Amino acid sequence: MHWTKHGRLVAEGPSAEWARSHLMVPIVVPGATGRVQLYFSARDEHGRAHVGRGELAFPGGPVVFEGDPLLAPGELGAFDDSGVIGSCLVGDGGRVLLYYIGWRRGVSVPFYTRIGCAVSEDAGLSFRRVSRGPIIPSDDVDPLFTTSPWVIREEGRWRMWYASCVRWEQRADGPRHVYHVRYAESEDGLSWRRDGHACIDFAAPEEYAIARPCVVRDGDLYRMWYSVRGQRYRIGYAESEDGILWERRDDVLGLEPSPSGWDSEMVEYPFVLDRDGTRYLLYNGNGYGATGIGLASLVEDT
């Protein structure tokens, strides 16, 4: 099996003040009559991310964007006052939970991020924050920052894979973050237990950022796609029997940048979707989403 790239699914975001650039971290929710809802994050002129949504006929139709953002940066001084990026949507009975990344600009380091949650009670048409603070606070387990949550509900428990910063490194061009993917559990999706267990750790000295896990369960096998950065971002792949102990197999079903074009410098922020018997991969390319969202499909080798 291998991924076949189909180019850009969406090149540009809505024409709005809150979406001057970028179309990053795609999330897709299947809809009726062959259409899907596309959730994304875009930046305003000050670089602050907002969460938006559009509808398209998948996998090839144009996107009809909504005019207003679903979630905007938080109040001044809050953990998310510098931007919000949607990472995962989870249905919970009659409501939908949006797990997002809250950004705050720093002084000694460029930024801090924490994981927030917003809830919708109208099938994802609007969202409100469940709290003014993050749902995973700073502590001895995750003292620096957390980001990129992926959450599933399974057999009476909530499971989260998320990125945690293990240290900042002082370099000639400034501080550089170092983070990998960890695991957490919850009974209600809001209060989380963590012990610092690393699910996806660094495989080479040049790696320093592993983020945006996307976890799919295929029978008794868990599959994870994630962004991994050394010299440039690429998409890695891992497998697990229990969702806790993982084996990295980046060479099996990962994704590399193209020789040229919109995704020639990097590929990152994967989202895997099964639709009409085909497994698709949505992802960002150059500039962390500055060049839009791409599409690939899984095909059998012959």
Which CATH number applies to 2-299?
Answer: 2.115.10.20
Structure confidence at residue 90 as a pLDDT band (50, 70, 90): very high
The DSSP line for 197-262 is EEEE---STT--EEEEEEEEEETTEEEEEEEEESSSEEEEEEEESSSSSEEE-HHHH-B---SSST
pLDDT higher than threshold 90 for residue 61: no
Q: Name the band, by pLDDT with cuts 50, 70 and 90, for residue 96.
A: very high
Q: What is the pLDDT of residues 232-259, one digit of tens each?
A: 999 999 999 999 999 999 999 999 999 9
| pLDDT at residue 60 in the model | 83
Please list the alpha-helical segments (H only) found in the chain: 250-253, 286-289
Instruction: Say if residue 155's pLDDT is above 90.
Output: no
What's the pLDDT tens digit per position in 256-278?
A: 999 999 999 999 999 999 998 99
Cα separation of 176 and 166, whole Å? 11
Q: Could you tell me which of 272, 277, 276 has the C-alpha nearest to residue 296?
A: 272
Q: How far apart are CA 274 and CA 33, in angstroms?
A: 15
% the chain with pLDDT above 70:
100
pLDDT at 301: 81
| pLDDT at residue 32 tops 80 | no
User: What is the mean predicted confidence (pLDDT) over 76-81?
Assistant: 98
Q: What is the reported pLDDT for 300? A: 84
* Average pLDDT score over the chain: 96
Q: What is the pLDDT of residue 119?
A: 98
What is the percent of the chain where pLDDT is above 90?
93
pLDDT given at position 1: 86
Confidence of residue 216 (pLDDT cuts 50, 70, 90): very high
